[in-house]
A and B are shown apart, each in its own frame.
Chain A
Amino acid sequence: MSSLLSIKQMSINFDTPRGSLEAVRGVDIEIPAGMSVGVVGESGSGKTVMCRAAMGLLQGSNVKRSGTVVFDGHELTAMSKEEVRNLFGSGMAMIFQDPMTALNPVRRIGSQLSEGLRVRLGMSKADALARSKELLELVRIPNAAAVLKSFPYQLSGGMRQRVMIAIAIACNPKLLFADEPTTALDVTVQAQILQLLRELREDLKMSMVLVTHDLGVVAGNTDYVAVMYAGEVVEYAPTTKLFADMRMPYTEALLESIPKIDHKSGTRLSMIAGRLPDPTDRGAGCSFAPRCKYAQEKCHKEHPELKQDPDGHQYRCWFPIGEAK
């Protein structure tokens, strides 16, 4: 199977006054062409940083990065900023987490949406605006002509997220990064947005990286799942396999912390005790060991490597679930 995006040994460090902050540590991820891959993890696990770094969108002199990113045959990490930029829009595009802050507050929707079409595809102003109207209709925005003339603050959160999706898909990208596209939205709107993304992905034959902290979102919308913890991939498997046969205790703990509809009223919500390790001081052992209910002495002392089952299921654990403990 060919990979559209292949990230190898990506590490991202931020220089901070407290020392080097390891946001992403040696991540390997393959995004197969035409597939949707979920990236799951709690806040601070490095999901967003990983996506932005993959597109080269991390700015700042305090960012140290290593590893390679290959997209559609181009090695992004060896290309200049301008060359990478030429792949944006028609190659890769991104949907941001918070539609309240990711649209420019002082520019009309029409100008923000048509800008990419004009700059990237060289369309005329009139063509770009006509296409923008079609795009807004494609993401099911009623009264598209009026919305084109609106400012972001005049739209609801769900509408803004639809606008953002329209901007992202404007130039028919091969790969769409969706960074927590539903987190800032109401539950009912979340379902609509996910439905829309699913349909667009099929219609436009896009691959997608869906970043979320919600395993429920991943379940119906992705082909593969990568679970991240403390900047590392700790489990990677086809979605159905992950839910049926998880190997990593962290994934299990994440799943257990989702409230179930058949829980008796008054059931205590299960949660993962403790918190993420200090990103400026990752200990020697498994990052999850201090919070893991199966942790043994070895877990605290030695850092586990990513192991692979014959069927391709990867996990980073000394004592995976399903083996003798």
Chain B
Amino acid sequence: MSKIGFWLQRIAQLLIVLLLVTFGVSLLLRLIPVDLATILLPVGTEEERDILRNELGFDKGPIGYYLQWLGNFVQGDFGKIYFSGGTEEVSDHLKNAMPRSLLLMVYTQVLALAIAIPLGVLSAYRAGRRADKIISNTLFALSSIPNFAIALLLVIFIGVKFAWLPTLGYAPISDGVWEHFKHMIMPVISLSLGLIATYTRLLRADMIAALREDYVTMAASKGLSDRRILWRHVFRPSSMTLLTSAALSMGGLIGGAIVIESIFATYGVGFEVFAAIAGRQYVALQSTVAVIALFYVFFNLVVDISSGFVDPRTRDRRVNA
């Protein structure tokens, strides 16, 4: 089978995953033992609720409702948020929240990988020696502190006591790069410390295993320096677990950074989910979860593609399979 055919098949698989996820969420909403229209319009009249039921498809069966929602979703109509004064478009909220969450996710991953990769390589190279013990124990200690605790400590010391950085809010890049980063530094640090610990441990374990391989001795017998062996011969075959783990954590960072987004008032997608749940905005919740799932699946596809470059064996094995 050709490579293009393989990727088409892979994308089709992911689309099916997306359909199943969104249908599952849709079904869960319908299983809530309350009248959705009453919740969305608590002070409306029965006629107004009937109109809403008809408009959103609540009067249809679960499948009919899902298809109507899906039809709107793919056309960019993510539904509305209902409150006593009127409605707001979910898509407007997401347009505002998504860049914040994506940037937060990207900065967190970049920082975590930039620190974890050298630490992982170093601690594998010096496995069992002092440097390795210091790195491993420090990271173990750090990873056992919950990220909101780190966030609060940062707020207290860096934000309040020394007043180096703003403790609340978000500034888009258009406000100036430094202004933007000033608001991002503390949330990014809070989110990345735990990831640094995980990534370092994964990379260390895989590199220690790879360092025992014959091809490492072979590389040494060619007269290469340790540095060249580590980076050119050991790092790449050892980075698959790290890559997979990074991909999996992306979904969590986009939608799951609720606590950190609340502490720093960054108001990203995680906060939107939280607000939708708290305000019983079920349509908004369904659409927001679907958008998170979409990004999650997209990043996993990207990692799938890049894993073929990291380890060509996986690429051809799948193509040949």
B223 interface residue (CB < 8 Å to A): yes
> Pick the contact of B214 from A59, A101, A167 — CB < 8 Å?
A101
Give B280 Cβ to nearest chain A Cβ, in Å: 51
Are the C-beta atoms of A61 and B128 separated by less than 8 Å?
yes
Number of A positions contacting B (CB below 8 A): 34
> Pick the contact of A57 from B129, B221, B228, B237 — CB < 8 Å?
B221
If the complex has contacts A61-B128, A151-B313, are A119 and B222 also in contact, measured as CB distance less than 8 A? yes
Are the C-beta atoms of B223 and A96 separated by less than 8 Å?
no
If the complex has contacts A89-B222, A89-B223, are A96 and B128 also in contact, measured as CB distance less than 8 A? no
Rounded to whole angstroms, the CA-CA distance of A104 and B233 in the bound complex is 7
B236 interface residue (CB < 8 Å to A): yes
Within 8 A of A (CB), among B188-237: 211, 213-215, 217-225, 228, 232-233, 236-237
B311 interface residue (CB < 8 Å to A): yes
B18 interface residue (CB < 8 Å to A): no
> Pick the contact of A94 from B129, B221, B232, B236 — CB < 8 Å?
B221
Q: Which of chain A's residues has its CB closest to B213's CB? A: A101
Q: Which residues on A sit within 8 Å (CB–CB) of B311?
A: 105-106
B263 interface residue (CB < 8 Å to A): no
Within 8 A of A (CB), among B222-264: 222-225, 228, 232-233, 236-237
Rounded to whole angstroms, the CA-CA distance of A102 and B215 in the bound complex is 4
Are the C-beta atoms of B220 and A57 separated by less than 8 Å?
yes
Rounded to whole angstroms, the CA-CA distance of A162 and B214 in the bound complex is 16
Q: Which of chain B's residues has its CB closest to A89's CB? A: B223
Q: Which of chain B's residues has its CB closest to A92's CB? A: B221
Are the C-beta atoms of A103 and B215 separated by less than 8 Å?
yes
Within 8 A of B (CB), among A161-193: 164, 167-168
Q: Mark B255-287, 1 if CB is under 8 A from A, else 0.
A: 000000000000000000000000000000000
Give A114 Cβ to nearest chain B Cβ, in Å: 11
If the complex has contacts A61-B128, A61-B129, A151-B313, are A105 and B215 also in contact, measured as CB distance less than 8 A? yes
Rounded to whole angstroms, the CA-CA distance of A88 and B225 in the bound complex is 11
B312 interface residue (CB < 8 Å to A): yes
Are the C-beta atoms of B223 and A106 separated by less than 8 Å?
no
Give B267 Cβ to nearest chain A Cβ, in Å: 42
Q: Which of chain A's residues has its CB closest to B314's CB? A: A106
B142 interface residue (CB < 8 Å to A): no
Are the C-beta atoms of A88 and B223 separated by less than 8 Å?
yes
B122 interface residue (CB < 8 Å to A): no
Are the C-beta atoms of B313 and A105 separated by less than 8 Å?
yes
Give B236 Cβ to nearest chain A Cβ, in Å: 5
Q: Which residues on B sit within 8 Å (CB–CB) of A82?
A: 225
Q: Which of chain A's residues has its CB closest to B212's CB? A: A59
Rounded to whole angstroms, the CA-CA distance of A259 and B141 in the bound complex is 62
> Pick the contact of A88 from B221, B236, B310, B316 — CB < 8 Å?
B221
Are the C-beta atoms of B222 and A120 separated by less than 8 Å?
yes
Q: Which of chain B's residues has its CB closest to A177's CB? A: B221
A301 interface residue (CB < 8 Å to B): no
Are the C-beta atoms of A153 and B313 separated by less than 8 Å?
yes
Q: Which residues on B sit within 8 Å (CB–CB) of A116?
A: 222-224
Give B158 Cβ to nearest chain A Cβ, in Å: 41
Give B130 Cβ to nearest chain A Cβ, in Å: 12
Are the C-beta atoms of A96 and B217 separated by less than 8 Å?
yes
Q: Which residues on A sit within 8 Å (CB–CB) of B232?
A: 107, 115
Q: Which of chain A's residues has its CB closest to B233's CB? A: A104
Q: Mark A79-95, 1 if CB is under 8 A from B, else 0.
A: 00010011111001110
Q: Which residues on B sit within 8 Å (CB–CB) of A97?
A: 214
Q: Which residues on A sit within 8 Å (CB–CB) of B224?
A: 85, 115-116, 119
Rounded to whole angstroms, the CA-CA distance of A28 and B310 in the bound complex is 45
> Pick the contact of A104 from B220, B237, B316 — CB < 8 Å?
B237
Are the C-beta atoms of A106 and B237 separated by less than 8 Å?
yes
Give A12 Cβ to nearest chain B Cβ, in Å: 15
Q: Which of chain A's residues has its CB closest to B237's CB? A: A106
A52 interface residue (CB < 8 Å to B): yes
Give B312 Cβ to nearest chain A Cβ, in Å: 5
Q: Which residues on B sit within 8 Å (CB–CB) of A88?
A: 220-223
Q: Which residues on B sit within 8 Å (CB–CB) of A94?
A: 218, 221
> Pick the contact of B223 from A61, A86, A101 — CB < 8 Å?
A86
Rounded to whole angstroms, the CA-CA distance of A103 and B211 in the bound complex is 13
Q: Which residues on A sit within 8 Å (CB–CB) of B128?
A: 61
A76 interface residue (CB < 8 Å to B): no
Q: Which residues on A sit within 8 Å (CB–CB) of B225?
A: 82, 85
18 contacts between A and B (CB under 8 A): A57-B221, A61-B128, A87-B223, A88-B221, A94-B218, A97-B214, A103-B215, A103-B218, A105-B237, A105-B311, A105-B313, A107-B233, A116-B223, A119-B223, A119-B224, A151-B312, A151-B313, A167-B222
- Using CB atoms and an 8 Å cutoff, list the residues of chain B in contact with chain A: 128-129, 211, 213-215, 217-225, 228, 232-233, 236-237, 310-313, 316
- By Cβ-Cβ distance, the 5 closest A-B pairs, closest first, are A88-B223, A102-B214, A116-B222, A101-B214, A94-B221
